[in-house]
Structure 1
Amino acid sequence: MLRDLVRIHAEIDAPRRTIGTDEPDWIPRLRKMCLHTLAITRWDISADSMHVMATELRAAYWQMDAVWRCIPGEFRLDEMDGNWWANEVRIGLLPTYDHPTPVSLGFPLAKGGFGDIENPEGYLRLAVWMGELGVGYGLALAALAQALDTDRDVMSRLVAVVRSVRLELT
């Protein structure tokens, strides 16, 4: 899903396009989020890579926090409003993966460490974080398409990405 969203983003806002001085700040932030998302998609999922991916996830969530506050309300979800993205970056388990302590490294993988790596809970947690990023990213791309007045049928492509994920999960 994230790879597909990165492709759509590149089509809406080509990396070679110069950002205008009058464009809102959230557009270059969305580009930064795209780079972090792309980095996430380059890793095979393992106990080791989860800690690297968490760094990229936190950076993407941080950019999404700024983007989310600026995009029009019709592109946001009530469940992810206010400080939701910032709270995910600061509070909870995501920071434990990104900034482990000597003690937390001994925790189970599901709690940010390297223990009990066979338990699927840690991998499910990663899938949830990536899914949340995908939802936010997809909605932000819809807002971007509107802001840049693109003529591409972005909404139908974004819906197709979501449907393909849903079909894979069933």
Structure 2
Amino acid sequence: MQKLSNLIGLPVLETVTGTQIGMVEEVLLDIDQAVICGVLIDSENWFFKAYGIGFEDLFSIGRDAIMVRGSEVIKDLADLSALSSIYRLQDLTSKQIFTETGFLLGILMDVVFDVITGEIRAYQVSDSIITDLLYGRQTMPLPQAQVIGPDKVIVPDTMAKLLHAEQIL
């Protein structure tokens, strides 16, 4: 398991030529399907376009770089990022998480995923800076039902019982 925020800023390298074709600028998530759709990359070669690589075209996700077979996997992801169920990581983080009965669980700080399948597994939640320092952040399994608003996430009441101390590699 890995945190999505760890991908931001990683170089994207071609395995065939060894050249860097960009850096990860953002991650696209399909919350309804609970999967990563792809990564947006920045490059000096284009401006004001949402170019990126679909998750299925990523050869491997390492600690220090993302590997692809060749630059032909880069495509325009603007249509994909415009869909209502697709979120950018930066649009999800820093939202308050409430239960349906109005209990504040904390702030969504990161998303945990499986590097092999791209499946979203959990949210990393912060209760407060002091709690984070003393006990670490908590993780909450991805809710099967949730409402994502402009600045809040509403989850079922049962999610409060599923918060647990972080155990991410």
For the criterion TM > 0.5, the same-fold answer is: no
TM-score of the superposed pair, with normalisation by structure 1:
0.23
Higher strand share: 2
